[in-house]
Structure 1
Amino acid sequence: MTVEVRLLELFLRVAELGSINKAAASVHLSQPALSRHIALLEHQMGNKLFIRTPGGVDLTEAGKMLSDRARPLLRQLTLLREQVGEKASGQLAIGTPPAWQQVVTSPFVEKLAERHPGITLRVYEGVSNILREYMSARLLDIAIVPYDSSPTASYRKTPLVREPMVLVGRREDALHPEKPVALSRLDGLRLVLPGRPNVARIQIEHALERKGMQFRLAVETDTLSLCLDLARRGVGYAVVPASSVFEHGLGDAISWGPIKGQFVTWALCENLDRTHSQAVREGRALLINAVSDALELKVWARAERPKAKA
């Protein structure tokens, strides 16, 4: 059985949008033409892939299986195309923490688009445990996640930068970037934190428990902007990496200060199957440069290169 790549791409587009009409418009096909393509793919698969609903279409069990397995296959095909090519073109998929958006990610994307317009970039911004899963599944070429020393077979990791964790509260709390906050101030404080297994959440929870202090959770959310806004509203105090408060957009409505002894070290993770790619090499170099620029310009509060182990 031969299945055309184009049919799989169209199938995934319909699955993503949940509508044949919307998918047809997005790929510049008529609705009847796209329906014929889907019908052909269903014939080749020997099973129905979609069921019609009042709002569009849903995947059948067979459709869900095909969707899960087709994406990595198409990713591998893209990789093969790049292996044959010699230019810095093709796809680059990176994963970054939400906290890095303003201080590193956006400047990096801007420079990559300017210098290498032939590279199609896809940015996954998400929590560290999800980015690790994507790296293990080889869905990402590069990712930034908190460093840990456990061995991994599918990707290489290198400590890149260390930054403090900061306590964020209302303006009235008068926290200050130049006045570190003792861990004891968090004892019994209502905190706004991401859910487990987020590194910041686990780190603060364990630090308080080791000192015999009370860990008190007010709100659990993985959305960085919501953490900061809830701190602004006085719902609780947010604990976030220092990069989170760079150009946060809340003006003087919040105040923040670094927490003594609490840091996160970020690692650069690289997909070992993709290190040969020119697009990945160019992307890696620009990402490292974006971090260096932020450190040299002193815009990243108290961030530093990780200290080498003796």
Structure 2
Amino acid sequence: MDSKLIDYFLRVAELGSINKAAVDLRLSQPALSRHIAVLEHELRAKLFIRNQGGVQLTDAGNLLRERARPILRQLSNLIEQVGDRAAGQLSVGVPPSWQYLFTSRFVEKLIERYPNIALRVHEGVSHVLREDMHAGMLDLAIVPFEAASPNGYVNNALVREPLVLVSHKDAELRPEKSVPLARLDKLKLALPGKPNVIRAHIENSLARKGLGFNNAFEVDAVNLSMDLARKGLSDTVTPCCAVSGNPQWEDSVSWSPIRGMFITWALCENTARSHSPAVGEGRRLITQVVAEVVQSGTWLGADLFSQTEWAAV
């Protein structure tokens, strides 16, 4: 039942006239009469008796008037409480490659500063996060930048970083020395399946140069593709943040930036949740943590998209 029908009923009961109530509610008299008829139909009871002076409540109408006001107050309180709780919830999508440099730091700072925010972290490769965004499951998401924002979201570029080739320890790759794209020609790779952005970028770039693309394994898990590289079963291409300064891989793999190959990350925000204080605080903290990590020099080759914007955070 629409609570507005109860509101309309109470106004008619208070004024004793459908015409007066219609003027007060800024409705036409026929429209208000139809609303009252709908309410009577749903309740299966006559609520008013018409007389020369206006309308008079029936016994059923008197009962509804007595019981309706406290129920509407409870409903109003419930809506307010649910809204407050929703305002304290934050659902964030992050790529798995960001875990070491960003995600753990972000979660730690959020818990410390905003203990009342209920945080939910979704970790997934780019196309999975986009599916979650299209389903409205995420308030904020860090995904590869695209000129057209996903439906219901606005996006702002955050940071650009190199794509790197990762191989076994003895492959003689060095972080300080980039390798040409030709190094990947017919190389046995472990990359995510389509429509992953990094996979598409590598495949298309090789094709444009007439080089061979050999995706030996489709792996939508960064740690697994890195482990395959560590064991020498395949190589992989990943954003630099997955390996830069990461002690998990520092002594067990070798890696180099791929010359001219970069990825720009964007922060997407669900416009339906932009009013939420939790979303606002989450957005500010994400930009702050990203800026801190980049400026520390830990994130090799990373450039903030807008120094002016970060300085204002």
Name the TM-score, length of structure 1 as normaliser.
Answer: 0.71
Query: Among 77, 90, 93, which residue is 2:91 paired with?
Result: 93
Query: How many Å apart are 1:251 and its aligned residue?
Result: 3.6
1:171 aligns with 2:181: no
Tell me if the contact between 2:243 and 2:250 (Cα under 8 Å) persists in the aligned partners: no
Q: Hey, what does 1:264 align to over in structure 2? A: 263
Aligned runs of 1:44-63 on 2, under 5 Å?
A: none
> Aligned partners of 2:128 and 2:184: how far apart in 1?
28
Question: Which consecutive segments of 4 or more residues in structure 1 shift more than 3 A?
Answer: 78-85
Tell me if the contact between 2:127 and 2:195 (Cα under 8 Å) persists in the aligned partners: yes
1:293 aligns with 2:292: yes
> Aligned partners of 2:250 and 2:304: how far apart in 1?
28
1:208 aligns with 2:202: no
Aligned runs of 1:1-310 on 2, under 5 Å?
A: 81=81, 83-84=83-84, 90-246=88-244, 247-306=246-305
> Aligned partners of 2:259 and 2:240: how far apart in 1?
13
Query: How many Å apart are 1:150 and its aligned residue?
Result: 2.1
Query: How many Å apart are 1:135 and its aligned residue?
Result: 1.5
Cα-to-partner distance string for 1:227-256 (whole Å, 9 max, x where unaligned): 111001111111000011031503422100
> Aligned partners of 1:225 and 1:116: how far apart in 2?
30
Q: Which has the larger radius of gyration?
A: 2
> Aligned partners of 1:84 and 1:125: how far apart in 2?
26
Paired residues, what number? 231
What SS does the aligned partner of 1:249 have?
helix
> Aligned partners of 2:290 and 2:82: how far apart in 1?
27
> Aligned partners of 1:185 and 1:122: how far apart in 2?
40
Structure number with higher helix proportion: 2
Cα-to-partner distance string for 1:271-301 (whole Å, 9 max, x where unaligned): 0011111111111111111100111101111
Cα-to-partner distance string for 1:94-148 (whole Å, 9 max, x where unaligned): 0000000011111000000001100010000001112112212221100000011
Query: How many Å apart are 1:82 and its aligned residue?
Result: 6.0
What SS does the aligned partner of 2:302 have?
coil
> Aligned partners of 1:155 and 1:257: how far apart in 2?
34
What SS does the aligned partner of 1:217 have?
strand
> Aligned partners of 1:157 and 1:125: how far apart in 2?
18
Tell me if the contact between 1:218 and 1:235 (Cα under 8 Å) persists in the aligned partners: no
Mark the CA change 1:153 to 1:80 in structure 2 (over 3 Å): closer, same or farther: farther
The gaps in structure 1 that reach 5 residues or longer are 2-77
Mark the CA change 1:271 to 1:170 in structure 2 (over 3 Å): closer, same or farther: same
The gaps in structure 2 that reach 5 residues or longer are 2-77, 308-313
Query: How many Å apart are 1:81 and its aligned residue?
Result: 4.3
> Aligned partners of 1:153 and 1:169: how far apart in 2?
38
Mark the CA change 1:155 to 1:82 in structure 2 (over 3 Å): closer, same or farther: farther
Tell me if the contact between 1:99 and 1:241 (Cα under 8 Å) persists in the aligned partners: yes
Tell me if the contact between 1:95 and 1:143 (Cα under 8 Å) persists in the aligned partners: yes
Mark the CA change 1:134 to 1:171 in structure 2 (over 3 Å): closer, same or farther: same
What SS does the aligned partner of 1:250 have?
helix
> Alpha carbon RMSD of aligned pairs, Å?
2.2
Q: Hey, what does 2:51 align to over in structure 1? A: none
Query: How many Å apart are 1:215 and its aligned residue?
Result: 0.5
> Aligned partners of 2:224 and 2:243: how far apart in 1?
13
Tell me if the contact between 1:89 and 1:118 (Cα under 8 Å) persists in the aligned partners: no
Tell me if the contact between 1:232 and 1:253 (Cα under 8 Å) persists in the aligned partners: yes
Tell me if the contact between 1:82 and 1:90 (Cα under 8 Å) persists in the aligned partners: no
- The AA in structure 2 aligned to 1:93 is S
> Aligned partners of 1:248 and 1:263: how far apart in 2?
23
Query: How many Å apart are 1:89 and its aligned residue?
Result: 5.9
- The AA in structure 2 aligned to 1:269 is C
What SS does the aligned partner of 1:162 have?
strand
- The AA in structure 2 aligned to 1:163 is E
- The AA in structure 1 aligned to 2:197 is V
- The AA in structure 1 aligned to 2:269 is E
- State the identity %: 48
Query: How many Å apart are 1:84 and its aligned residue?
Result: 4.6
> Aligned partners of 1:227 and 1:169: how far apart in 2?
10
